[in-house]
Structure formats: C-alpha cells, structure tokens
Copies of this chain bind each other. A is one copy, B any other.
Amino acid sequence: MIVRDYRESDWPQVWAIVQQVVRAADTFPFDPAMTEAQARSIWLEAPPGRTVVAAEGDRVLGTAKMGANRGGPGAHISTASFMVAENERGHGVGSALCRDATGWAQLQGYAGMQFNAVVETNRGAVAVYERQGFQVLGTVPRAFEHPSLGRVGLHLMYREF
C-alpha cells in the first residue's frame, strides 16, 4: 500500500468510499444524502490543501484530505479528514493516511494539526490519533446523533508539531 496524491481517475473509488461513510452516518457530521457534486466539492481540496489516496495497485483503500483549519490569523494550524473503505479497516490504512497527513503538514510549516469533530465512539480512529500524538482537548457532549448509540460526544483533538 502506498499513499499518493489523488488523481482524477481515482474519483469513482473515492466517491464510493465517501458515500459508504456518509451513509453509515456513524463517524462524520456530513449529510448522509450528500450528492456526488457535494462530495467532490467537500473532499477534493485545491492547493494549498491536498487530497490523497491509500492505494494498492489500482485499488483505492482509503482517502484523506488536508489543509489549513482556519483562515487569516488561524491559518498556521492544519486539519485533515480520513475515510477508509469498510472492508479495508483494521489493517493500518487509517494510520498510514494520518502519518502522511501529519508529515505533509509539518513540511508545509504548519504549527499543529486539529481535528474538529471526532466521534467519541469511533474508538479505532481515536486510538490511531492518540498513537500519533494527538490529545483530546475537549468534548462536546451529545453533539453527534449516532444511528444506534444515540447522542454521543464529539472530541476536539490536537497535536502540536
């Protein structure tokens, strides 16, 4: 598996992953009925941001997007989002994407990386982030309507570089 820059021919596979993730509605605060056009505009970052895929040959296993978390006086902190195909989870794809994103952000000169809304019951993701040096700085209680668990918290996670 390698992590590389997104190219236009990846779109059908990236869209399939985005659709799967938003429809499950258990990890992202995105509209589950998101259209393909909305997904393109949300997920494909124009420079200075960046979108990547984790791929094995022609197969896309996961995808990430990254860039500045805020504008103006907040633009020195980066953010990133990660999605892994359902049947590719638990094999280090998310970890590889997260490592790639933090490495990229450090090279770009960002001072840290912030995740704005990590669903607290998404334990796999929280564990990946904590292993890579992120901490929970706060949790908004009951801010995410989980399809089976009810309202659960959203973590603000952060790592300084």
Contact = CB atoms under 8 A, between A and B. Distances in A.
A33 B72 CA distance: 8
Contact of A73 (B29, B71, B137): B29
Contact of A143 (B28, B77, B138): B77
A117 to B, nearest CB: 6
A70 interface: yes
Interface residues of A, number: 40
Given A138-B138, A156-B138, A22 B143 contact: no
B73 A145 contact: yes
Interface stretch (A85-93, A108-116, A125-133): A108-116
A76 interface: yes
A74 B138 contact: no
Interface string A39-83: 000000000000000000000000000000111111111000000
A30 B147 CA distance: 34
